[in-house]
Amino acid sequence: MNYIQTMRQLIGNETLLTIGCGVILVENEKILLQHRTDEDNWCIPGGMMELGETFEETAIRETLEETGLVIKELKLFGLYSGESCFVTYPNGDKAYSVQIIFQSSHFEGNLIHAGEETKEHQFFHKHELPSNLNTRQGRFIQEWANGKSSI
């Protein structure tokens, strides 16, 4: 059982403070987005930090689990907090997730196109992003598209 599952047993659906780490993967000036099965929207690969992990380890592990890609180099893209980081999941769990976002163009492996959390992966040009971006991630995806970052 992981940390979040353990905490959920203790606090139920109440708001849990988490740290999420994600990676903006760029290839040929296109961003890799993941079409999620749980919320039916598009987001970057990433997930929640486990106890004892670094931000980088979390981002690399989650990206590998969700995409099958091995990241060779990470660069900090941005730090995100505030009102937009509150979420209520379909099962009623509430969280406040601070987001540490990296960017990389240095990765290898065979892209997994579907999985437990993923309907599909697809690369999008910055002018052709899907309309149903994840509400908590739309900000930094748009910042990438506009050539900006929060740092």
Q: What is the average pLDDT score of the chain? A: 93
Give residue-wise pLDDT tens across range 15-58: 999 999 999 999 999 999 999 988 889 999 999 999 999 999 99
- % residues pLDDT > 70 (the chain): 99
Q: How confident is the model at residue 1 (pLDDT cuts 50, 70, 90)?
A: low
Long-range contacts of 136-141 (CB under 8 A, 24+ apart): 136/84, 136/85, 136/87, 136/97, 136/99, 137/22, 137/43, 137/44, 137/99, 139/80, 139/84, 140/24, 140/44, 140/77, 140/78, 140/80, 140/99, 140/101, 141/24, 141/31, 141/33, 141/43, 141/44
List the chain domain ranges. 3-145
Give residue-wise pLDDT tens across range 119-149: 999 999 999 999 999 988 999 999 999 998 7
Whether residue 105 has pLDDT greater than 70: yes
Average pLDDT over residues 91-102: 96
The class that CATH gives domain 3-145 is alpha beta
